[in-house]
Structure 1
């Protein structure tokens, strides 16, 4: 049974990814800052689900996640960095506070970088030959990595950072045949987007997206899984848009 670490597993994209991996027979170490009802349900439903309550912005939290994954001499074959936060309050960049900036960056960018570093070293230590797949890392970024939203600049900056994290680790880990790719979700129906439901409903209705509907966490989870199951063995450092066509420039 293969082991995957999936952060942000209590809700949204992380939860959908965790459920898909579990349904496919993986052992999943799901990390989240809180133990929510969804976590309790997965524990009851899947014997191969291990929950770790940890904050990825904290070094001890990251080590706690890896320790749980290694228990029983298991080797991590996939890391899905789905944990992420939006600013607690949307605010014009001319009024953004350092506190808000640090809160978002510490989790979305710093936490993603250093958990990837930690798990990457674990994968290298347990790697076989360079001819076999020795692991896959998938980072959940956002269309905000390249799209300006001046009311949540810290989030845009954090996700642009995740894009560079993806490229850096893809370059560094290629010699070990460990792939690193990024998913850029579009407008996905999660708790994070719930406060702006009316705004996006109107924009979708007005033609913002070629595929004129909200994305679902499951749409993203399927793309994540495809990048870890061996379907893309010669793809690394890639950004894949799961966004209903938002990225297409149209006249």
Structure 2
């Protein structure tokens, strides 16, 4: 196989699926994961293939750290290489509400996926990239505007994304001498299943000027950022954060 291979976690729908389609169009083959295997997987698989990719789904729970080595081995066995890792899988707060009522169980389940799982899978991928001497490897973390913008009704989510942001920076420093750039893309208010339950709230706030661009973000907006970073043209900018947010995070008076 001559096409570069991208491994995208949580890509059966939403932002991850949009990233897969964009990367397939840009010349990547696609290995993608999700904890759920349903009709959406078949839809995503068809979209990736129609966009020109050889594609393969791997059912995988990123929170199951002990399974990460096997996932890497399965991808290598299926495609023979791994050039790009997009750490996209994540969950929202199980219940939104007063942060004084967050339970340890709710906190831990978010951390297990969004921070602990993502961090240790990227560790496993980085070691595999170094061992395989990949030609132009790249690692991209999808975090959130919630790395900086506080939501007290889902504080555990914000903490998990901020923690992953620091992990991305540290990994960028560790891998810079090895020629593996690491980037972070922070989506703002993106139209996904995760935000569907609070769509009316964001519709009103966008109408009131919360986002300078004046609209919701779409998965494709995030995907275009990832494609640019995956091109290899920004390797000397390792550790860079891209805000895919329509200007949401720009401080204003």
TM-score bin, normalised by smaller chain: over 0.9
Alpha carbons 1:3, 1:69 under 8 Å: kept:
no
Aligned residues: 247
Correspondence for 1:85 among 59, 81, 91: 91
Is 1:35 the equivalent of 2:37?
A: yes
After superposing the two structures, state which structure 1 stretch, 175-184 or 222-231, moved more.
222-231
Structure 2: tracts of 5 or more residues without a match: none
Q: Which residue of 2 aligns with 1:17?
A: 19
Task: Give runs of aligned pairs for residues 219-238 of structure 1, distance below 5 A.
Answer: 219-238=221-240
Q: What's the counterpart of residue 107 of structure 1?
A: 113
CA contact (8 A) 1:78 1:228 kept: yes
State the Cα distance separating 1:171 from its structure 2 match: 0.3
What SS does the aligned partner of 1:151 have? helix
Query: 1:158 aligned to 2:160?
Result: yes
Q: Secondary structure at the match of 1:15?
A: helix
Partner residue in 1 for 2:123: 117
| 8 Å contact from structure 2 (residues 36, 59) kept in 1 | yes
Partners of 1:42 and 1:95 in 2: how far apart?
37
Q: Equivalences for 1:56-75 in 2 at 5 Å?
A: 56-71=62-77, 74-75=80-81
Unaligned runs of 5+ in 1: none
Give the Cα–Cα distance (whole angstroms) in 2 for the partners of residues 176 and 117 of structure 1. 14
Asked if structure 1 preserves the Cα contact closer than 8 Å seen for 2:26 and 2:227, the reply is: no
- Is 1:52 the counterpart of 2:58? The answer is yes
1:143 Cα deviation from its structure 2 partner: 0.5
The equivalent of 2:176 in structure 1 is 174
- C-alpha separation in 2, matches of 1:186 and 1:44: 28
Q: Which residue of 2 aligns with 1:143?
A: 145
Which deviates further from its counterpart, 156-165 or 16-25? 16-25
For the residue of structure 1 that corresponds to 2:83, the secondary structure is strand
Q: Deviations over 1:67-114 (max 9, x none)?
A: 221015622110000000001110211000111101100000001100
Normalised to the residue count of structure 2, the TM-score between the two structures is: 0.94
Q: Distance in 1 between the 2:30 and 2:206 partners? A: 35
Q: Which has the higher helix share?
A: 2
SS class of match (1:25): coil
RMSD: 1.4
